[in-house]
A and B are shown apart, each in its own frame.
Chain A
Amino acid sequence: MRYTAKKLATMLLTMVIVSLLTFVAFSLLSGDAATRLLGTEATPEKLEALRRALGLNDPLLVRYARWLLGALHGDLGVSYQYSQSVSALIGQRLGPTLTLTALSFVLILLVSIPLGVMSAKYAGGWLDRTLTVLNQVVMAVPPFFTGILFTYLFGLVLHWFIAGAFPIGGPSHYLGYLFFPALAVALPRIAMTVKLLRTSILDEAQRDYVRTSMSRGRSRSGILYRHVLKNTLVPLVTFLAMTVADLLAGSVVIEQVFAVPGLGRLLLSSIANRDEPVARAIVVLLAFAVILCNLLADLLARRIDPRLTSGAGGAA
């Protein structure tokens, strides 16, 4: 399809721009890596030799091109901090972050969709009014504070999990531990999704096609499930794509609260220790993930709403 191809090209271009920006930003802030690696007592000759070995004397664009070529082959450089390849380092930390993000996302879907639909279906009723107030409050609690409250309540008081003791092993070992961090991040997003869904369902319910369907004898809930919900999907999908992006980026904070050894924590420590290769690789990776999410949401929206496709030409 021509549209998809065009979209992919734009995406690649955005990725190049994003990685270039990241590369430049980190080069500006990282200072002299050689001095940091060898210490301030190192002789100027040794420092110069290392700089040359690392290619730090080349112009910025040359270094970027070299990095990009390497990255395309899966070589993201070597961490200054751990003297380990960046891709291996990221590979070890990717699991917990992805699991955490997926878990929060599933929680958001499972809780907010039924609540949003119920809230709209019984708009003005007790459930709706309770949810409206609750949403407002939940949205005001930052996830890291929720995380601390969970740590206290479920960790220290109820002993349902041991805060800070991240289980060793694969996802099956740490999935349980990640439940509370996932819930902490999910809560405000659940509130936002419920609110969005409620508003868009009520908006759609005002449309003329609802009246048409009623004139054919369709019941109110029949109309909701057969017509209205599908029409609220496009804004919902766009919003959910943004949510995934926020969840990924939010891992930086929530992983710190629950001591989860994921990408977010690795990013923090690499920024604190000026470990440029690791930090920029993670930032670029996260930005790519966001771009990819948006692309997927866009393509999905086009599948749902045929009007979006016909605008691009090629109507049958």
Chain B
Amino acid sequence: MKKNTFLRVGLVLTALVVGFIALGLVWTPYAPNAMDFSRLLPPSLAHPMGTDKFGRDILSRVMVGAGDTLLIALGTVVIGTVVGTLVGALTGWYGGWVDELLMRLNDALASFPSILILLVLVSLLGGGQEHMMLALGIVFIPSYARIVRSEFARARTQNYVRMAELMGASTARILFVHILPNIWHTLLSAITIGFNNAVLAEAAMSYLSIGVSPDEASLGYMLSESQSILGSAPWYALGTGLIIVLLILGVSLIGEGLQRGEN
């Protein structure tokens, strides 16, 4: 029980951050792009995070921006998980030359640092959230498929799987009804890592102004904006960065808790 302090704190923290973001979907204190306030106001009751150089309410922009980040990260995880599970399950189960080929491809991809692949992919695909999601998803697939593959390859030799085979269960049934529920623990903690990498990469890309347009309230872009006025409005950078940190921290604590719970 004591071990799962990680899981509990992670769940609470994530719930708070996601709640904050969900609130931003339906309500923000001000319209995120409204420029009708005094510029660069320090934090106050009316503007808890102050205002930016165009007089926009930073809290409102952070809420909306974090929503976009969360959406992109979730999309990434869905793409990566679905494709990665299929590829990993099939190669891990059947082995053979398809497995060999895909794993070589995997190795080749792994020799590119993911941020380079992202730079090239996003430049190729063009900007926009869908493209960012797709690019991040593609980057996530190999590492995830590798984990799924080894889990399935291991499950292959285990008794409950042999029993199911003897009883004439179809391959699809064995793969997704018998094995998948048994390895979800491992997969879930891999997913939390993928999610966090997606949040980090999305923020880094938009910080570099790659794949975002300036009027979108994107956290990374806001951070790069905040840098030029760091001396006069440090709270801008602080508030924006903090939400990224809290989002990542919550999810990584959940991942850590899951891993510890398993051992």
Chain A interface residues toward B at CB < 8 A: 14, 17-18, 21-22, 25-26, 28-29, 136-137, 139-142, 144-145, 148-149, 151-152, 156, 163, 245-246, 248-250, 252-253, 256-257, 267-268, 271, 283, 286-287, 290-291, 294
Question: In this assembly, does B179 line the interface, its C-beta being within 8 Å of a C-beta of chain A?
Answer: no
Tally of contacts, chain A with chain B, CB under 8 A: 107
Q: Is the CB of B227 within 8 A of A268?
A: no
In the bound assembly, the distance between CA atoms of A142 and B114 in angstroms comes to 15
Question: In this assembly, does B249 line the interface, its C-beta being within 8 Å of a C-beta of chain A?
Answer: yes
Give the shortest distance, in Å, between B201 (CB) and chain A (any CB): 9
**Which of B107, B123, B245 has the largest number of chain A CB atoms within 10 A?**
B123
Give every chain A residue within 8 A of B234 (Cβ-Cβ): 152, 156
Give every chain A residue within 8 A of B223 (Cβ-Cβ): 144-145, 148
Chain B interface residues toward A at CB < 8 A: 6, 107-108, 111-116, 119-120, 123-124, 196, 200, 203-204, 207-208, 210, 223-224, 226-227, 230-231, 234, 237-238, 241, 244-246, 248-249, 252-253, 256
Give every chain B residue within 8 A of A245 (Cβ-Cβ): 113
Interface residues of chain B: helix, strand, loop or mixed (majority): helix
Give every chain B residue within 8 A of A142 (Cβ-Cβ): 200, 203-204, 241, 244-245, 248
Q: Is the CB of B203 within 8 A of A250?
A: no
Give the shortest distance, in Å, between A17 (CB) and chain B (any CB): 6
4 pairs of A and B residues whose beta carbons are closest in the complex: A249-B113, A140-B249, A145-B241, A140-B248
Interface residues of chain A: helix, strand, loop or mixed (majority): helix
Which residue from chain B places its CB closest to the CB of A290 in the assembled complex? B111
Give the shortest distance, in Å, between B42 (CB) and chain A (any CB): 15
Give the shortest distance, in Å, between B141 (CB) and chain A (any CB): 16
Which residue from chain A places its CB closest to the CB of B119 in the assembled complex? A271
In the bound assembly, the distance between CA atoms of A159 and B260 in angstroms comes to 43
Q: Is the CB of B204 within 8 A of A290?
A: no
Q: Is the CB of A18 within 8 A of B111?
A: yes
In the bound assembly, the distance between CA atoms of A256 and B221 in angstroms comes to 13
Q: Is the CB of B204 within 8 A of A249?
A: no
Q: Is the CB of A145 within 8 A of B244?
A: yes
In the bound assembly, the distance between CA atoms of A148 and B238 in angstroms comes to 9
Q: A152-B230, A249-B116, A271-B123 are in contact. Are A256 and B111 (CB under 8 A)?
A: no
In the bound assembly, the distance between CA atoms of A148 and B225 in angstroms comes to 11
In the bound assembly, the distance between CA atoms of A152 and B226 in angstroms comes to 11
Give the shortest distance, in Å, between A244 (CB) and chain B (any CB): 10
Give every chain B residue within 8 A of A152 (Cβ-Cβ): 230, 234, 237
Q: A148-B230, A245-B113, A249-B116 are in contact. Are A28 and B237 (CB under 8 A)?
A: no
Q: Is the CB of A252 within 8 A of B115?
A: yes
Give the shortest distance, in Å, between A45 (CB) and chain B (any CB): 31
Which residue from chain B places its CB closest to the CB of A286 in the assembled complex? B116
Q: A136-B253, A142-B204, A148-B241 are in contact. Are A18 and B112 (CB under 8 A)?
A: yes
Q: Is the CB of A286 within 8 A of B256?
A: no
Give every chain B residue within 8 A of A140 (Cβ-Cβ): 196, 245-246, 248-249, 252
A140-B196, A152-B234, A245-B113 are known; give 13 further A-B pairs, CB within 8 A: A14-B107, A25-B124, A139-B252, A144-B207, A148-B226, A148-B237, A163-B230, A249-B114, A252-B119, A253-B208, A283-B119, A290-B111, A290-B112
Give the shortest distance, in Å, between B9 (CB) and chain A (any CB): 9
Which residue from chain B places its CB closest to the CB of A13 in the assembled complex? B108
Which residue from chain A places its CB closest to the CB of B227 in the assembled complex? A148
Give every chain A residue within 8 A of B238 (Cβ-Cβ): 149
In the bound assembly, the distance between CA atoms of A128 and B249 in angstroms comes to 19
Give every chain B residue within 8 A of A137 (Cβ-Cβ): 249
Give every chain B residue within 8 A of A250 (Cβ-Cβ): 113, 115
Q: Is the CB of B245 within 8 A of A253?
A: no
What are 11 A-B pairs at a CB distance below 8 A? A26-B120, A29-B120, A142-B244, A144-B203, A145-B237, A145-B245, A148-B241, A149-B241, A252-B208, A271-B119, A287-B111
Contact pick for A256, options B200, B208, B226, B252, CB 8 Å = B208
Q: A140-B252, A142-B244, A252-B119 are in contact. Are A294 and B203 (CB under 8 A)?
A: no
Give every chain A residue within 8 A of B207 (Cβ-Cβ): 144, 253, 256
